[in-house]
Amino acid sequence: MHITILTFQGFNELDSLIALGVLNRIKKPGWRVTICCPEPEVTSMNGVTVRAQSTLEDATTADAVIVGSGILTRQIVSTPELMGRLSFEPERQLIAAQCSGTLILAKLGLLGNVPACTDLMTKPWVQEAGVEVLNQPFFAHGNVATAGGCLASSYLAGWIIAQTEGLEAASAALHYIAPVGEKDAFVDNALKNIKPYLRR
């Protein structure tokens, strides 16, 4: 199981790295989570430089893809060279987008006429792309999921684990990252958001 987290120049650190931390709670052979970038290194919206662990081309063959968020997403969707490197198949891959990542899925035509979640700033652009935006943190339809608000990236990661490893594994991963003294309440709320959209 290879999960790529698409992380572009200007990325939002929380959106890529919370998902990465949650997903890496699964410790089993072959389970691999990578920061996936168009270049060998990318620098975040706040100046943090991280090194790529996989390429955009690797994402096309991954088992799951999370499209991260950032301050340059509108430029990305206007760059045919970059968009042309993004090729995903919801029939074969779990596909998830966080905040402005939803705009990328919308522009790739992967949301169809299904509603989606995104952050409050990206909302008008996703609507302009013809997609209904929900006032909730998480939504999924089949193999495609979207989330809005940085911390909802934990729900996105929880959904991927729940779909592939089961609800108990997702609960354990979310329990680990939750604040001490608030763990049960956090997990309960996360599962409340994820459960309606599970296919098993």
Does 137 engage in binding with a second copy (CB under 8 A)?
yes
Stretch that binds a second copy, among 12-20, 60-68, 79-87, 104-112 (CB under 8 A): 12-20
Residue with the two structure tokens 């997903």: 23
Least separation in angstroms between residue 107's CB and a second copy is 20
Query: Which one of 10, 101, 149, 158 is in contact with a second copy (CB under 8 A)?
Result: 149
Least separation in angstroms between residue 183's CB and a second copy is 7
Closest Cα to residue 7, out of 71, 16, 79? 16
Query: How many helices (H) and strands (E) would you count in the chain?
Result: 9, 9
Q: What is the largest CA-CA distance in the chain?
A: 48
Closest Cα to residue 4, out of 29, 28, 33? 33
Does 55 engage in binding with a second copy (CB under 8 A)?
no
Does 30 engage in binding with a second copy (CB under 8 A)?
no
Q: Alpha-carbon Rg of the chain, whole angstroms?
A: 15
Does 113 engage in binding with a second copy (CB under 8 A)?
no
Strand spans (E) along 15-135:
32-37, 41-43, 49-51, 54-55, 64-67, 94-98
Query: Three-class SS of residue 144?
Result: strand
Does 49 engage in binding with a second copy (CB under 8 A)?
yes
Least separation in angstroms between residue 84's CB and a second copy is 27
Nearer to a second copy, 21 or 83 (CB): 21
Nearer to a second copy, 47 or 80 (CB): 47
Closest Cα to residue 160, out of 149, 173, 150, 151? 173
Does 14 engage in binding with a second copy (CB under 8 A)?
yes
Which chain residues interact with a second copy by CB under 8 A? Answer: 12-14, 17-18, 20-21, 24, 33, 35, 45-51, 53, 117-120, 134-138, 147-152, 154-155, 176-183, 186, 189, 193
